[in-house]
Amino acid sequence: MDASTPAGAPAAQVVGGYLREQAAELAARAPQVCRDEPDAVHKMRVATRRLRSALTTYRPLLRKKPTRTLKHELTWLAGVLGAARDSEVLHARVLAVRAGLPAQASSPSTAPAPGPAAAGLAVPAGHVLDRVAEHLVGVHRDAMAEVTRALGSQRYAALRERLDAYVTRPPWKKAAARRAGSVLPRFVRGAWKRVRRRAEAAEAARSHAERVVHLHEVRKAAKRARYAAESVEGVYGDPARRFAEAMQELQDVLGEHQDSVVAQHLVEDLGHPELVERELALQRDREQEYLALWERVSSPELRGWLRT
């Protein structure tokens, strides 16, 4: 087992180290976000999510009231960062789809006169995507302005102060003093069981719309399970890393699926059946990819280390 922290170390040592690491990451990314550096919003959002996930996963080890208050403020920050990141991701996706269209779908010569929907004329797909991309540029600009305001606010300053105090002296319960090897695996198992329950609900879905909702929940649960496994890599080494990587694969496939769902709603609002069908086809492809992937990531061998 390639690990740097002995399984006999207190659980508080492992979880506390992870919390401090993510708090430092969050603090380091804030100036980069304010300078609008590439990928800074994404990295800060991930640090925020990892903190929230750890506070949720390990809540039986932490006193309730201070943890709940901190989670509430991290949820606020994640929401502000999420609006900017989501528009950024969707804009990049729309541009990629636009670039892949055949020439006739983008040709200005095929553009109809104003009011094509009322006239029953088909708008070239390229023109629709141009409109979507232009809209998303504005959405992202407004979202980044809100991020800048948030990071300069008293609320963010108070959050940072609260977070620094929390990770310096976490409000541990007695159970956190027990051996990491005897305490932590059950929390990762719990995160995995959540993934499995969400997957079973998706399998039982009776409609495409219902399945979309459940697959999004599978993705969120897989993300939490990934973060849980990453937090104990120092104890369990490669087995935890492989499990985390499997959860990330699941997360990535379902992320593409969810991005397509959002894009589908956008082009539906603009009344373009061709692009809607394109997104639905992509969703079907990702669902098949997910089903094939599920056979592997749900293998008991991948979780053998959790029985230690």
Rounded to the nearest angstrom, the gap between the alpha carbon of residue 186 and the centroid of all alpha carbons in its chain is: 23
Residue 113 has a pLDDT of: 38
Burial of 158 (0-12, 13-18, 19+ CB in 10 A): exposed
Q: What is the largest CA-CA distance in the chain?
A: 73
pLDDT by residue (tens digit) across 19-35? 999 999 999 999 999 99
**What mean pLDDT is predicted for residues 238-260?**
96
**What mean pLDDT is predicted for residues 102-131?**
57
Nearest to 61 by CA among 171, 179, 221, 190: 171
**What mean pLDDT is predicted for residues 248-271?**
91
- H or E, element range at 193: helix 180-203
**What mean pLDDT is predicted for residues 155-169?**
98
**What mean pLDDT is predicted for residues 224-251?**
96
Among 146-160, 194-208, 262-276, the range scoring the smallest mean pLDDT is 262-276
Measured distance CA(289)–CA(286) in Å, rounded: 5
Task: Name the band, by pLDDT with cuts 50, 70 and 90, for residue 308.
Answer: low
Residue 104 has a pLDDT of: 52
pLDDT by residue (tens digit) across 36-90? 999 999 999 999 999 999 999 999 999 999 999 999 999 999 999 999 999 999 9
Mean pLDDT, the chain, integer: 90
Measured distance CA(305)–CA(35) in Å, rounded: 42
**What mean pLDDT is predicted for residues 259-275?**
86
pLDDT by residue (tens digit) across 272-298? 788 899 999 999 999 999 999 999 999
Measured distance CA(130)–CA(134) in Å, rounded: 6
**What mean pLDDT is predicted for residues 117-142?**
77
Contact 71, 59 (CB under 8 A): no
